[in-house]
Structure 1
Amino acid sequence: MLSSPRLTSGILGYTERKFKDTVSTVGGAFFLKQWGPYNISIWDTAGREQFHGLGSMYCRGAAAVILTYDMTSWQSYVELEDRFLSLTDTANADCIFAIVGNKADLTDSHAQPSDPEGEEENKPARMSVSSSSLQRKQVNREDAMALYARVLHYKGLDEKACLPAESMCFETSAKTGYNVDMLFETMFELVVPSILKKRNEGESSTVDLEAPSTGKSNKAGCCT
């Protein structure tokens, strides 16, 4: 995932219940996510400029790439295309792309945290977030969809034959977890069948990074 550090924290929040292991890397992080009978490999490149040169390595052979921008920063949206799109050249030819806006908690009251169910009676009523306290969204969903179309064009893919932009553009908050689960569950549901198809056709989709102690391990690859 070519992302800001704030989405990295969202990955940790999503995966801490289910990840088998977390391995820190220079310029990013590697995770294994248990999803049904499969282990999904996730590379997080952190997106920082000093690690830009490592991006193509992380994306090599990727079945899916999540490109992330800051919804409150138009500059982050511009840099996402200018600096990071070329790093996807090493991804699989049929790689699935998602365009993700982060920091929705700063622009949308619906992305704010809520009290856990059943605790409302024991806590003071939470004040709703007023519209005046929210920041202006600098990158709209329409902008994300336009970028998705440009990504497909850059990769030489037929837009009509690919997943629609409406399904592959997300607005999330790594801080509150808003839509983070939906993002990864959607990606996994799309990626796993594609990898299984390749496996049945005799192609190897990932490198086995660990030897399972017992039984047979099913692995799927996803560079985010």
Structure 2
Amino acid sequence: MADSFDEECDYLFKAVLIGDSAVGKSNLLSRFARDEFHLDSKPTIGVEFAYRNVKVGDKLIKAQIWDTAGQERFRAITSSYYRGALGALLVYDITRSPTFNSVKKWLTELRDFGNPDMVVVLVGNKSDLGHSREVDLEQGKSLAEAENLCFMETSALQNLNVEEAFLEMINRIHKITSQKVLEAKSSEAVGNGLQAGKEIVQLDHDEVTATKQTGCCYR
């Protein structure tokens, strides 16, 4: 079944969910992939992943989202999973300022192990717990602007902005990828380096890489 879907989809986009432990990464993914939320969800051990089909224009995209453990003892394991990722959701918990303070550490890891030009969306999760807020909305916006990231606050519990955060990332990857494919076909047309008839459809490899985004949304 998976093989047949791979043949039918136009693109395969790999992305990762990163951030400290217990910020809600797994529930964001389960909400996006299966529209499920589990109050008793357990910490991720190592790496898990899920798929979802997304239609962007006339293209069918298979989004492959990897959920990485936030615990320090798993960091060496998860670093290899950045390879081939075209996007990342970097998540913190608005009710725990230490998770926000860790964002720059996670960005450093992204830039050390991943494509430095990947699409990154900064996500402040658990916006339903505003009465316990320790990180202001403006703090998230300011950091995102400084680091050239997209930014949204979400609630996996209330299903608020979860779809929007993932689709923002996927749409931006698709825009970048479409431009790369056009450039590749243009090069092919003038005989500069690509085999005739070659189609690039699975982008979790190094054949197409993301270019740095300019401008973004702030919610």
- TM-score between the two structures when normalised by the length of structure 1: 0.63
AA matched with 1:85: L
**Deviation at 1:59?**
1.8
Partner of 2:63: 40
- Cα RMSD (Å) of the superposition? 2.8
The residue type paired with residue 27 of structure 1 is G
Residues 147-158 of structure 1: pairs in structure 2 closer than 5 A: 147-152=143-148
Q: Note closer, same or farther for the CA distance 1:198–1:30 as it changes in structure 2 (3 Å cut).
A: farther
Shift of 1:200: 4.3
Q: Secondary structure at the match of 1:173?
A: coil
| Counterpart selection for 2:30 from 7, 12, 15 | 12
Task: State the distance in 2 between where 1:30 and 1:201 align.
Answer: 31
State how many pairs are aligned: 162
Q: 1:98-132 deviations in whole A, cap 9, x for unaligned?
A: 1111111111xxxxxxxxxxxxxxxxxxxxxxxxx
Residue identity opposite 2:84 in structure 1: G
Mapped pair 1:97 → 2:120: yes
Percent of aligned positions that are identical: 27
2:73, 2:181 → 1: CA distance? 36
Q: Distance in 1 between matches of 2:138 and 2:79?
A: 28
In 2, Cα distance between equivalents of 1:201 and 1:43? 29
> Aligned partners of 1:66 and 1:79: how far apart in 2?
14
Shift of 1:71: 0.1
Query: What is the DSSP-based 3-state SS (H/G/I as helix, E as strand, rest coil) of the residue aligned with 1:44?
Result: strand
Q: 1:206 aligns with which of 204, 207, 217?
A: 204
SS in 2 for 1:99: strand
Match of 1:85 in 2: 107
Equivalent in the alignment of 1:197: 179
Deviation at 1:69, TM superposition (A): 0.5
Which protein, 1 or 2, shows the higher relative CO under an 8 Å CA cutoff with sep ≥ 6?
Answer: 1
Contact 1:172 1:178 in 2 (8 A): yes
Query: Could you tell me which residue of structure 2 aligns to residue 138 of structure 1?
Result: 134
Aligned partner (choices 33, 40, 47) of residue 28 of structure 1: 47
Q: Which residue number in structure 2 is paired with residue 2 of structure 1? A: 18
Give the counterpart of 1:173 among 147, 155, 166.
155
Separation in structure 1 between the aligned mates of residue 122 and residue 100 of structure 2, nearest angstrom = 10
Unaligned runs of 5+ in 1: 18-24, 108-133, 153-164, 208-219
Return the TM-score normalized by structure 2.
0.64
The answer to whether the aligner puts 1:65 opposite 2:88 as a matched pair is yes
Q: Give the Cα–Cα distance (whole angstroms) in 1 for the partners of residues 158 and 63 of structure 2.
A: 23
Note the C-alpha offset of 1:57: 1.6
Q: Mark the runs of 5 or more structure 2 residues left unpaired by the alignment.
A: 1-16, 36-43, 185-199, 211-219
